[in-house]
Structure 1
Amino acid sequence: MAKTIDILCIHGLGNHTDGTWEGRWETAVREAFPIPADSELKFSFLNYDRIFQETDLSFLETMRALAKLGWSGISSPFRSKRGLFSGVTDRIRWTAGYVVAWCADEEFKARTRKLMLTEIAKRKPDIILAHSLGSLLSYDAFAHDDAKAPAVSKVLKKAVYVTFGSQLNNPFVLRNLTNGRIGVLEVDFWHHLYNRHDDVFTRPIVNIGADNFRQTLTPFDIEGIADHDATEYLGHPQTVADVWMPYASLMGESRRTIKAVRGITGRREKEQKALLVGINDYPNASDRLDGCVNDVFTMSELLQRGGMPASSIRTCLDGRATAQGILERLGWLLDDPREGDELVFYYSGHGARYPEYGANGEPDHFVETLVPWDFDWSEATSIADKQIYELYSQLPYECRLVMIFDCCNSGGIHKNGGARIRGISPPDDVRHRELKWDTKTNTWVQRDFERINAEFTSDKEVFNKFFSANGATERLGRSSMLRGLSEKQYEALKKKEPDKTRGAYLPVIIEACRADQYSYEYRHGVTSHGAFTFNLAKILRDRKRISFEDLVSQTKAELADLKFDQEPCILGPREIVKSNVPWMG
């Protein structure tokens, strides 16, 4: 008896009323999908254009949306701000407008959600293909409590879901649609196809730690906006290898899933891994430090004393610690996370803070950054939160990531005859962004940057930990730009959908000093170390059991005894901060 595979296709934004997209998609899938001779494909198509055609957007609204989506969408160091608005087609502009309008309108989302779930229950697809905005609409529907209705959930649990050309992990969408976190869907398997050349605000999705999720890289670079074309995704050789061929191989084996064919066995033994970065030998002689490489070896010793295998520890030192070098190794550290994993990222070197341009083309906030060996005060050579949030913000909550920074981010000047400061100040042309001329006093004064998220919390201490005392700083390791809920919205969501209130993953972050202080080097006899790292290591060697919170508190006391004006800080989930350090001898 012939096996029929029902495929539901959900288009992206644009006028699809002429029906030409349907034939193109069907042809692309039929050519790529090697089904057995005794099977057949049945296609159905979901068109939601009529809902969006009822919403009129002005040119000004679409340009504002372009700024919101486009600016957040170029947070990768591999994309350039230059030319963001040049050559923008109407299709791209209106895509931005409708994505932003839909994210902000609960009634809008409710209408599309109802349409999606009704069609799923009616058509009972085996495979769901969702392109561009269609991936947002379908994800929102499948992740909602309404999808738990038996008529829907029964279908989804057996369905393969394929998203492509998707804006789902665009920071603006992630913040406003999913509270900073992409949830695990109750589907048989979710494939996310990502083309790095697709400029229609798309983003990769990594490290969500779900056994039924896999991202497939499908690079193609075609002149114009064809890099966003659905049929190019569907017929890509890697899509054939990762999606169509595994599915075809399961035909007639009803009790097996895509996970089985891929060799995904589910839970594995927990892993311990560490990436340790130290930079002494900066290109500029005046920026060079003495103790950072020593700090790396100290941390490696401590971790190995605590039972972490030497083979699980990678170091990145001096000239190899470029921005690209650090990011590549962070990719290794955070790859394929699972519950119970213990991960450590340690950095010893310079830190910095600089004013950055916002969506309106004017400087409007500060960015904290580590200072790689090749740092030149540009986004491409920074290790700021926007460079790494994609790697850690979706980690499973049960995975433990500890980030330790022995640097300062407020800038600094080396003190002649005294301890070196682990921070550098911006050159005057960069510093000029944060200044304005005050005609009343005839002096240069600081610009007043607006708070990034003034309603985040009324707790001043907590707010400062996420956005600094000025309220306008993207702090490292916080995923601060994904945390869009105000206290009022948080409480409302907690009552309605409590599972969504936790938001983006928060590591345990241990810093050598406050945001307004300096981190110093310490000379122990003739050997240089970071003052913070030296004292932290001394405590870890002496104590058999200590919590993260007490470790930082005792390190603070040790530094005070040595007359260092720096106070280590800690931020992280309360239950982890109060738990014992797992890697102790």
Structure 2
Amino acid sequence: MEKGKKMALLVGCNYPDTPNELHGCHNDVLAMREVLIAQFGFNSNCIELLTDKPSSLTLPTGANIKKALNEMVDRAEPGDVLFFHYSGHGTLIKSRSYSTKKEEAIVPCDFNLITSVDFRQLVNRVPKGATFTILSDSCHSGGLIDKETEQIGPSSTTQTSFLSTSYKPKMIPFQSIMQYFTSLTSINTTDIGTHLLELFGPDASLMFHELEPISKPLKPDEGILLSGCQTNETSADVEIMEDGRKACGAFSNAVQMVLKENSAGPLSNKQLVLLARKILAIQHFGNQHPCLYCSNENADAKFLCAAEKS
């Protein structure tokens, strides 16, 4: 099989005709697809796009997203570049009913949550010498790869308010999710895992299955997370002025702006996140601080470039 493959899964969830509807997530992944092809040399046949448009043949359900991610990791070989861009809602959940600790999760169109434990399991399977980059434009996305090393984290910058009249946080409150699941299962419990297992069975997050603990690697791994905000922050779904009004995720748009403005030469993962932070501050989204989680080596590695041989 060809070495040095570049593979991508792009997922945009707008949740149409629901109380949680967003407007820019489909635009985010469509724009990212163009950037990947034009600027990073991705073959269009190696980019899978999942959106919850009414016309979509395959919806971005939890099972479908995890199936596509697992297939991508299964095909990976040393020297390959794997990329997952998610634009949609995120949430914080309790890992167990008896625990106060909260974990990050993304919210597929069917609410079958994909948690930080699921992403850790995926990263643990990536072969040495490949890279797996996740760009998550969702609320509470810091730490979405469980136990990944923080490179760019909380900021001491004075926070400002969102000035956009079209701002909407990309977050579904935990209580709203619980009410939704309870209406479907009729089970009287605050343990979200019980509801997920009842509704989705083996397709529910690994976090809630009785499995051996997924341990932290003893050395740096191949996971790279660019998160739209810190764990305790929200990411914005906004409208910006660009040839009229364009709905988009503030972080996705900032990343795409940085990449286009620096198309002459590759940026490191650290440079990309820091420059995206500056754009969000200029656009008055200063209370959203993108973060970077990865090994020291990958922090300085070029964004979406094959790992250099040591």
Report the TM-score when normalising by structure 2.
0.71
Q: What is aligned with 2:270?
A: 549
Q: Deviations over 1:136-164 (max 9, x none)?
A: xxxxxxxxxxxxxxxxxxxxxxxxxxxxx
Distance verdict in 2 for CA 1:282–1:386, change over 3 Å: farther
Q: What is aligned with 2:118?
A: 387
| Pairwise CA RMSD | 2.6
In the TM superposition, residue 501 of structure 1 has moved relative to its aligned partner by: 3.4
Q: What is aligned with 1:301?
A: 34
Structure 2 unmatched runs, 5+: 54-58, 142-162, 180-206, 208-212, 306-310
Structure 1 CA distance, aligned partners of 2:177 and 2:257? 42
Structure 1 CA distance, aligned partners of 2:19 and 2:230? 24
Q: Pick from 343, 351, 357: which aligns with 2:82?
A: 343
Q: Pick from 30, 45, 52: which aligns with 1:318?
A: 52
Structure 1 CA distance, aligned partners of 2:15 and 2:76? 33
Q: Pick from 79, 90, 104: which aligns with 1:368?
A: 104
Distance verdict in 2 for CA 1:268–1:307, change over 3 Å: closer
Q: What is aligned with 1:568?
A: 290
Distance verdict in 2 for CA 1:395–1:405, change over 3 Å: same
Structure 2 CA distance, aligned partners of 1:332 and 1:502? 25
Is the counterpart of residue 398 in structure 1 residue 129 in structure 2? yes
Structure 1 CA distance, aligned partners of 2:177 and 2:47? 39
Q: Deviations over 1:53-94 (max 9, x none)?
A: xxxxxxxxxxxxxxxxxxxxxxxxxxxxxxxxxxxxxxxxxx
| Contact kept? 1:280, 1:349, Cα under 8 Å | yes
Distance verdict in 2 for CA 1:309–1:516, change over 3 Å: same
Distance verdict in 2 for CA 1:428–1:571, change over 3 Å: closer
Distance verdict in 2 for CA 1:301–1:391, change over 3 Å: same
Q: Pick from 502, 508, 523: which aligns with 2:219?
A: 502
Q: What is aligned with 1:124?
A: none
Structure 1 CA distance, aligned partners of 2:29 and 2:304? 19
Q: Pick from 422, 426, 434: which aligns with 2:174?
A: 426
| Contact kept? 2:62, 2:108, Cα under 8 Å | yes
In the TM superposition, residue 430 of structure 1 has moved relative to its aligned partner by: 4.5
Rg comparison, structure with higher value:
1
Q: Deviations over 1:413-462 (max 9, x none)?
A: xx99440111111126959xxxxxxxxxxxxxxxxxxxxxxxxxxxxxxx
Distance verdict in 2 for CA 1:393–1:561, change over 3 Å: same
Q: Pick from 526, 535, 545: which aligns with 2:254?
A: 535
SS, match of residue 125 in structure 2: coil
In the TM superposition, residue 367 of structure 1 has moved relative to its aligned partner by: 2.1
Greater RCO, 1 or 2 (C-alpha within 8 Å, sep 6+): 2
AA aligned opposite 1:501: L
Residues 79-118 of structure 1 aligned to structure 2 (within 5 Å): none
Distance verdict in 2 for CA 1:517–1:332, change over 3 Å: same
| Contact kept? 1:327, 1:388, Cα under 8 Å | no
Distance verdict in 2 for CA 1:331–1:518, change over 3 Å: same
Structure 2 CA distance, aligned partners of 1:516 and 1:403? 19
In the TM superposition, residue 548 of structure 1 has moved relative to its aligned partner by: 1.1
| Contact kept? 1:276, 1:346, Cα under 8 Å | yes
Q: What is aligned with 1:355?
A: 94
| Contact kept? 2:276, 2:290, Cα under 8 Å | yes
| Contact kept? 1:421, 1:519, Cα under 8 Å | yes
The number of aligned residues is: 241
In the TM superposition, residue 409 of structure 1 has moved relative to its aligned partner by: 2.0
Q: What is aligned with 2:228?
A: 512
| Contact kept? 1:282, 1:373, Cα under 8 Å | no
In the TM superposition, residue 332 of structure 1 has moved relative to its aligned partner by: 2.0
Residues 143-222 of structure 1 aligned to structure 2 (within 5 Å): none
Structure 2 CA distance, aligned partners of 1:356 and 1:571? 21
Structure (1 or 2) with the greater helix fraction: 1
